[in-house]
Structure 1
Amino acid sequence: MPHLNTDATRLNAARRARELDALRSGDGTTHVDLVVIGAGVTGAGIALDAATRGLDVLIVDAHDIAFGTSRWSSKLAHGGLRYLATGNVGIARRSALERGILMGTTAPHLTRAITQVVPVQDRYTGGQKTAPRVGFIAGDALRVAARTPSTTLPPSRTVSSRRVAELCPAVDTSDLRFGYVNHDGQLIDDARLVTALVRTAAGYGARVVTHCRAVEAHGHSVVLQDVLDEGSSPVTVSAGAVVNATGVWAGQLDPQVTVRPSRGTHLVIDSAAVGNPTGALTVPVPGHTSRFCFILPQQLGRCYVGITDEDLGTDIIPDVPDVPDSDVQWILDVVNQALAVDLTTDDVLGAFAGLRPLVQFTDGASDGEPTSTADLSRDHVILTGQDEDATLVTVTGGKLTEYRLMAEQTVDLVADLLRETGATPGPCLTTGIPLVGAPGSAGVRDVRPSDLAGLPASMVERFGHEAPAVLRTCPVDRPLEPVAPGIDTVRAEFAWHVTHEAALTVEDLIDRRSRIGLVDADRDACLATAQEILDAVG
């Protein structure tokens, strides 16, 4: 088993400058085994997998860690129930296996069991009343097959109407008969998972350079441009192989790929507006038995409500998708079916949309197009380039829960390509490697429950067993003071984001390392603190 260097997990502006200087000093002759373009969950997983196999890895991103789709998910580590309902047994089985690895080994500190609640109300059709229970039973079978213990994810069950109302206080009880309860995986935050992956990859030797765009990518070289210093000269790096892990933007580097993005929108509401639920209310979409909207309890006293599945087309793909009013109203109309109170646009504090990278294939229809993005496969694809670009590997599609498997399969292919040049990469090890902050991971093995007991619970949720170090090493004054009144993020957390998690801009701090920026008023309230800490320690 390779050794994790805890000092190397510190990512900051000085570290980035050293990495760029080292690349520039090669004057086009710097060589690495693998360049990974894209620091989302897939690229981060690939960098970690490759680094732990002994490869010299460079991961770059034009923006920031978890800038794109990876920060816009439902924050769920799905067991794949939806895919069972549509006949995709393979995806469902893989999802259950990967969920177990994520919750049991990789990131138990960043995941938890969430109680999914389906109210059985007279207003729904017979299929909508029975399909969830059948699906939950099938999900139990998947959990058992994946060897995920019931202590991690308890089995599903039928519960009383009273219990439904306890878990989801805003549910309409006028025609509520009973409910179904299931347990799935939930991430504390998707962007925090990606940050932990990148830092762990760095601890195993990967070089990390964010805010650095790949302006050209070939099978054996990339040309990089420092986005924070546009006047600087481009840097050329030679490589044994290059992986294009840019998600919905994969076609910009590999023209053989056509990605048809699907927009998934979530609304952000105050948890108090729906009675501070502890369970995730699951509401069927009218006319469907396998599509649902959810009210998901989240950190910072919020709930996320979603999700849509809207075709964005294949033309211009925005860096940050807009949320149209039609998405907002559609979500409200669906969830209000099950509520005793009517949520309105006045309850919506913020909204975000992520783009699912669905790879477009024809389905035999007369026009060669699927009827909707909901009909497109959620599976991933891994493609090699053509001719001289045969070592340019593109991976796209797939689901966040399966990131580790996607990474393993991609690096298996890269390893085969590199062996032709005499390299000797080792086997995949990521099923047994905990991320930074996980109990038992390097650097935190001496942390005891008593060391966590006196810290803010929200800090422990977000940093795991690194939380004591977040406070102990804080270089700014008033470390436990909130970054703004009423927000349960403290100054020490902002400082750690800068000194250890590669936060280089205010946007990195507010919008990705923390998720404060999802609500404009909260964002405005902590801007001054973010800038102060960035100036002080950045």
Structure 2
Amino acid sequence: MIGSLSPERRTRDLVQLAGAEIDVVVVGGGVTGAGVALDAASRGLSVALFERADLAAGTSRWSSKLVHGGLRYLAHGEIGLARESARERAVLMGTTAPHLVRPLPFLVPDAAGRDVSALAGLGGRLGDAVRLSVPGGRGSLPATRRVRADDVARMTPGVRPGAGGVVFWDGQLTDDARLVVALARTAAAHGARIVTGAEGVAVDGADVHVRVDGGELRLRAGVVVNAAGVWSQQLAPGIRLVPSRGSHLVVPADRLGSPSATLTVPLPGSRSRYVFALPQREGLVYLGLTDEPVEGPVPGDDPQPSDAEVQQLLDTVNQVLTEPLGRGDLVGAYAGYRPLVLPESAGTGPGDATADLSRKHLLRWDGPVLSVVGGKLTTYRAMAEETVDAVVARLGRGAARTTTDRLPLVGAAPRLVLDRVGAPERLVARYGTEAPLVEALGPALVVAGRPETVGELRFAVRHEGARTVADLLDRRTRIGLVPADRERAVPVAEQVLAEA
């Protein structure tokens, strides 16, 4: 199995890392850390990645699951960031992970206001122009267009009837956590050692101390890359972070008429922030996204949406629905922290801080520690490339240029190949060319009424580094997004872990 993160490999990696000298130690197993590990390993550097919990245990699994072209950045005049986003979206859709990313229509109904849909149409056409200007962008998505009332009724049946709207297109991830797992496995296939359950990492010059499995592991590193996101200040206290919380609600798709497009409604009083009702393959819709400042130290536990956020999301989308959603319609909710960076040039007051915030990322050296923080999921590869460029320059070894823009992840293949894979479409959308291997491990359902199979859990334990019930239900699959389903799935997950 290519890049298998088996229990045996983890044991072997820990033995080989003890006292070793490693070119690059990466701290953090989210999309940024996994992306850095892959870029560095593919350039011929020795790499070890340490993650305190599990792959995608933090921010990376709480996104809107979008690979987007940055329309919001155009609204703020950040053309460079929008072009980078569009370029990286094209790389993901065309080469890196075609199986994990699909085109997704976004519908802005006239029911939200004709001026709103007109502005969305203008923004969509600007986004189309940016897409056409980047390599791979042409032909990757359909063009923005106006649609009639019957199109609105077909694509978003829950919207009040009788008016048209505007449709623009973007990319949707099957699952953000699956992208991180695929990155980590591909890095492992290039020789990186991926160690989860590393509860603490301390750096003393070139010496790295790691608490793992109840003991301490010591090794030496040429460079330590701090990719711990909102927890980056633990290794680099000088970084100025202003984290925010983004929350989503989970609603049964049939409550909105099982939409095929993302219903897009502007937040009252804003021209650049929207609430999205994002349809998922599992018969659910994710309703988001908020942007609330987080005061004080960021806790280690998973965040939860506040009552005010829940109400804000419901009130916004209900403006255009025939039958408004209520709290009783919710089957789950989730929230995540964004590691927003406050630039050195920003002032110290709250007003100054808000004015200077951006989705741009920061690279900063503190002795042998290089912190990479900020940015967003879509541009993880570009962030990793810039980070490893700096590492190679510091170490004086490793390939000078990345190849990750041409490097498919495990399971990836051109769309024509994926369409011929002999496995259910849903498994192909999650595992790509490996879908038949997953199907062969057991087609029985984990929970009645849901599509996840026991084979997926077995594959996660044997090849994807899953070690706990939470790893299986909350990250390798997303059953945990519906708490009632998670409760029913726990015995099955425990049984699969006991088989290992």
Same fold by TM-score, threshold 0.5 exceeded?
yes
Instruction: Provide, for residues 64-113 of structure 1, a one-character-per-residue CA deviation record: whole Å limited to 9, x for no partner.
Output: 00000000000000100000001111111110011000110000010000
Q: Distance in 1 between matches of 2:90 and 2:324?
A: 37
Q: Distance in 2 between matches of 1:240 and 1:314?
A: 33
Query: Which secondary structure does the structure 2 equivalent of 1:259 belong to?
Result: coil
Query: Which secondary structure does the structure 2 equivalent of 1:267 belong to?
Result: strand
Match of 2:358 in 1: 377
Match of 2:342 in 1: 360
Match of 2:431 in 1: 463
Within the candidate set 166, 169, 175, 1:180 is matched to: 166
- Mapping 1:242-261, distance limit 5 Å: 242-261=224-243
Q: Distance in 2 between matches of 1:218 and 1:153?
A: 48
Q: Distance in 1 between matches of 2:273 and 2:375?
A: 18
Instruction: Provide, for residues 236-260 of structure 1, a one-character-per-residue CA deviation record: whole Å limited to 9, x for no partner.
Output: 1101100000000001110111211
Match of 1:288 in 2: 270
Q: Distance in 1 between matches of 2:352 and 2:316?
A: 22
- Mapping 1:401-412, distance limit 5 Å: 401-412=378-389
CA contact (8 A) 1:258 1:314 kept: no
Give the CA deviation at 1:151: 4.0
Match of 1:130 in 2: 118
Query: Which secondary structure does the structure 2 equivalent of 1:223 belong to?
Result: strand
Give the CA deviation at 1:300: 1.6
Change in 2 beyond 3 A, CA 1:12/1:295? same
Within the candidate set 117, 136, 140, 1:152 is matched to: 140
- Mapping 1:127-526, distance limit 5 Å: 128-149=116-137, 151-173=139-161, 176=163, 178-226=164-212, 229-230=213-214, 232=215, 234-361=216-343, 368-370=349-351, 376-385=357-366, 389=367, 391-419=368-396, 423-439=397-413, 449-452=419-422, 455-472=423-440, 474=441, 479-526=442-489
Change in 2 beyond 3 A, CA 1:373/1:325? farther
Change in 2 beyond 3 A, CA 1:431/1:259? same
Give the CA deviation at 1:407: 0.1
Change in 2 beyond 3 A, CA 1:449/1:392? same
Q: Distance in 2 between matches of 1:364 and 1:53?
A: 36
Query: Which secondary structure does the structure 2 equivalent of 1:339 belong to?
Result: coil
CA contact (8 A) 2:25 2:49 kept: yes
Change in 2 beyond 3 A, CA 1:448/1:158? closer
Give the CA deviation at 1:32: 0.5
Q: Distance in 2 between matches of 1:364 and 1:489?
A: 47
Q: Distance in 1 between matches of 2:473 and 2:197?
A: 16
Match of 1:3 in 2: none
Q: Distance in 2 between matches of 1:375 and 1:324?
A: 25
Give the CA deviation at 1:219: 4.7
Match of 1:98 in 2: 88
Q: Distance in 2 between matches of 1:468 and 1:45?
A: 26
Q: Distance in 1 between matches of 2:431 and 2:288?
A: 26
User: What letter corresponds to residue 435 of structure 2 in structure 1?
Assistant: A
Q: What is the percentage of aligned positions where both structures have the same residue?
A: 46
Q: Distance in 2 between matches of 1:349 and 1:21?
A: 44
Instruction: Provide, for residues 382-412 of structure 1, a one-character-per-residue CA deviation record: whole Å limited to 9, x for no partner.
Output: 0001xxx2x2100000011000000000000
Query: Which secondary structure does the structure 2 equivalent of 1:416 belong to?
Result: helix
For normalisation by structure 2, the TM-score amounts to: 0.96
Q: Distance in 1 between matches of 2:414 and 2:141?
A: 21
Give the CA deviation at 1:372: 7.2
Query: Which secondary structure does the structure 2 equivalent of 1:254 belong to?
Result: coil
Query: Which secondary structure does the structure 2 equivalent of 1:260 belong to?
Result: coil
CA contact (8 A) 1:199 1:501 kept: yes
Q: Distance in 2 between matches of 1:332 and 1:213?
A: 38
User: What letter corresponds to residue 156 of structure 1 in structure 2?
Assistant: T
Match of 2:74 in 1: 84
Whether 1:73 aligns to 2:28 is no
Q: Distance in 2 between matches of 1:371 and 1:513?
A: 40
Query: Which secondary structure does the structure 1 equivalent of 2:110 belong to?
Result: strand
Give the CA deviation at 1:125: 6.9
Match of 1:38 in 2: 28
CA contact (8 A) 1:264 1:353 kept: yes
Aligned length: 500
Query: Which secondary structure does the structure 1 equivalent of 2:350 belong to?
Result: coil
Give the CA deviation at 1:426: 4.1
Match of 1:536 in 2: 499
User: What letter corresponds to residue 392 of structure 1 in structure 2?
Assistant: V
Give the CA deviation at 1:315: 2.4
Whether 1:12 aligns to 2:1 is no
Change in 2 beyond 3 A, CA 1:32/1:146? same
Q: Distance in 2 between matches of 1:350 and 1:375?
A: 34
Instruction: Provide, for residues 176-199 of structure 1, a one-character-per-residue CA deviation record: whole Å limited to 9, x for no partner.
Output: 2x2111110110000000000000
Point out the more displaced range, 187-196 or 528-537. Answer: 528-537
Q: Distance in 2 between matches of 1:412 and 1:118?
A: 41
Instruction: Provide, for residues 268-315 of structure 1, a one-character-per-residue CA deviation record: whole Å limited to 9, x for no partner.
Output: 111111010000000011111111000000132111000000000242
Contiguous gaps of at least 5 residues in structure 1: 1-5
User: What letter corresponds to residue 148 of structure 1 in structure 2?
Assistant: G
Give the CA deviation at 1:326: 1.1
Instruction: Provide, for residues 159-181 of structure 1, a one-character-per-residue CA deviation record: whole Å limited to 9, x for no partner.
Output: 1111011100001125x2x2111
User: What letter corresponds to residue 61 of structure 2 in structure 1?
Assistant: R
Q: Distance in 1 between matches of 2:148 and 2:205?
A: 59
Q: CA RMSD in A?
A: 1.9
Point out the more displaced range, 129-138 or 110-119. Answer: 129-138
Change in 2 beyond 3 A, CA 1:189/1:219? farther
Change in 2 beyond 3 A, CA 1:373/1:76? farther
Query: Which secondary structure does the structure 1 equivalent of 2:448 belong to?
Result: coil
Give the CA deviation at 1:41: 0.3
Contiguous gaps of at least 5 residues in structure 2: none
Give the CA deviation at 1:449: 4.5
CA contact (8 A) 2:418 2:428 kept: no
Query: Which secondary structure does the structure 1 equivalent of 2:120 belong to?
Result: helix
Point out the more displaced range, 192-201 or 423-432. Answer: 423-432
Query: Which secondary structure does the structure 1 equivalent of 2:170 belong to?
Result: strand
